[in-house]
Amino acid sequence: MRTPPPRLLLAASAAAAGLAVLALVPLSASGLVDPLQATQLALSAVTLAIAAALIANVRRTDGKALRIDARTKRQEAALAQTGSDLRRIATTLDDLAGRLDDAGRDRVRHVLAALGEDRMELTAQSGRLAGLDEAVTRLNDATRETTTGLADLRRAHDRLATATGVQDLADRLTDLAGTVRDTRSAVTGTARQTYTQLEALVDLRALLQPRAPLPPLRGWAASPDVLRLLVGRIATARPKTILECGSGASTIWLAYAAQRFGGGHVIALEHDERFAQSTRDLILAHNLQDVAEVRHAPLTTWTDRGGETFPWYDVRAVQDLPEVGLVFVDGPPGATGPEARYPAVPLLLPHCASDAWIVLDDADRPAEREIAERWLAEYPELAATSHKAEKGAIILRRTHG
C-alpha cells in the first residue's frame, strides 16, 4: 500500500488536533470537562497526530530503503555475473596466449635449427671481413701519417742538403714509403678477395640450402667462387654425369646442385682411402647418397703416346662412365708429381659429351698453366676461357663435334 505524502499526513494530523481542541473548548466552557483535563486532552491529541505523521513518514522512508537495497542486490548480482564472465574470458585468453607462445617458440626453434651452422659460418666470415676492413682503415691512417712525416723530412732534407748522411736517410725513407704502399695494396686485395668469397658462399647457401654442417672452403679445398661457376653450369646445362678429380667439400656442393636441378649424378675420384671414406660420411650426413658416390682410385703410373709417365688415378675407375657433361679437375695434388693433372684430358675426353665443360682449378699456378697450354696444343678441337677466380680457373670446351 502506498504511504500518503508527509505534507498530507501533517495536514491531517493538524486538522484532527484542531478538531479535538475545538471540541474540547465548548465542553470545558459548559463545565462538562475540567479545563485542565481539556488542555491535557488537547495536547495529547496534538502529540498523537504528530506521532502518527512521523510514523507514516518513517514507514515511507523504510520502503524506499528496502527498494534501494533490492536494486543494490540486483546490481551486485549482475556485477558478480559479469566478473565471472570476465574471469572465464581471461582464462580463455591466457590459454590462447600460452598456445600461441608455445607455437612461437616451436617456430623459433625450427628456424634456428634450419639456420644452424649457416648463420654461425656467415657470422664468422662477416667478422673476419670487418676485421680486415678495420685493418685497412688503420693502414690508411698510418699511411697518411707517414706521408705527412715524409713531407716534413723532405723539407728538412732540403734545408740540410749539405749535411752528411741526409741523402742516405732520404733513400731509406723512400724505400719505407714504397713498403707502406705495397702493404696497403696487399691488405686491400685480401679484403676484397675475402668479400668476393663471402659473397659467393652466401649465394651458394641461399641457392642450395645445405642440411648439415660442411667443412670450410678455400685453402686446399675449392674456393666458393669456382664452385659458384660449376653450380651455375649444372643449373643451365643439367649434365647427366659430373666427374670430379679429387673429393671433399666440393663433392657435397656439386651433389646438392645435381639434386636441386635434377637428373645429374656426381662421381668423385679419390686416391686416399681415408679421405674417400671421410667424403662418403659427408655424403651420408647430407642425405646425398642417391646423387653422389666416391670411387677409391689409387694413383698408378700412366704412360702417354710419347712414352712419358704420369701418376694418375687408376683408369679402371672411369672405364664405365657414360657421357660426362662436366669435369672438375682439382686433383691429384701437385705434390704427387710434375704435371700430375695432365692425364685428365687424354683419358676423360673420350668419355665426355660434345658440349661438356672441363674446368681446371688452380690455374694461377705455373704448372697448371703449362698443362692447359699442352692440352690446347695437342687437342685443337678444344678452346679455353680463363675464369677470374681466387686461385684461377680455365674452362675448356669443344669448338666442334
For residue range 246-296, what is the model confidence (pLDDT) as tens digits? 999 999 999 999 999 987 899 999 999 999 999 999 999 999 999 999 999
CA triple 173-176-180, angle to 5 deg: 140
Q: CA nearest 268: which of 253, 396, 234?
A: 253
What is d(CA 360, CA 348) in angstroms, rounded to the nearest whole number?
13
What is d(CA 267, CA 253) in angstroms, rounded to the nearest whole number?
13
Q: For the chain, which residues make up each domain, given as ranges? A: 116-207, 219-398
Whose cell is 542486490? That residue is 73
What is d(CA 255, CA 234) in angstroms, rounded to the nearest whole number?
10
pLDDT digit string (tens) for the chain, length 401 residues: 555 665 666 667 667 666 766 766 676 677 776 767 767 776 776 677 677 666 666 666 666 777 877 887 887 887 778 778 778 877 876 776 677 667 656 654 543 444 444 455 555 556 666 666 676 677 667 667 766 766 766 666 566 555 555 566 566 667 766 665 666 666 666 777 678 888 888 888 888 888 888 878 876 778 899 999 999 999 999 999 999 999 999 999 999 999 999 878 999 999 999 999 999 999 999 999 999 999 999 999 999 988 999 999 999 999 999 889 999 999 898 888 888 999 999 999 999 999 999 999 999 999 999 999 999 999 999 999 999 888 889 999 998 65
The pLDDT of residue 212 is: 85
Cβ-in-10-Å burial (0-12, 13-18, 19+) of 205 comes to buried
From residue 374, alpha-carbon distances to 253, 320, 331, 344, 349 in Å are 30, 27, 17, 12, 14
What is d(CA 184, CA 190) in angstroms, rounded to the nearest whole number?
10
- Specify which residues 309 forms β-bridges with: 303
- Specify which residues 393 forms β-bridges with: 361, 387
For residues 317 and 295, the answer to whether their CB atoms sit within 8 Å is yes
Grid cell, residue 265, equals: 649424378
The pLDDT of residue 108 is: 42
CATH code reported for the domain at 219-398: 3.40.50.150
The pLDDT of residue 291 is: 96
Strand order in the sheet with 292-296: 292-296, 265-270, 241-245, 324-329, 352-361, 393-398, 382-387
Q: CA nearest 291: which of 261, 268, 259?
A: 259
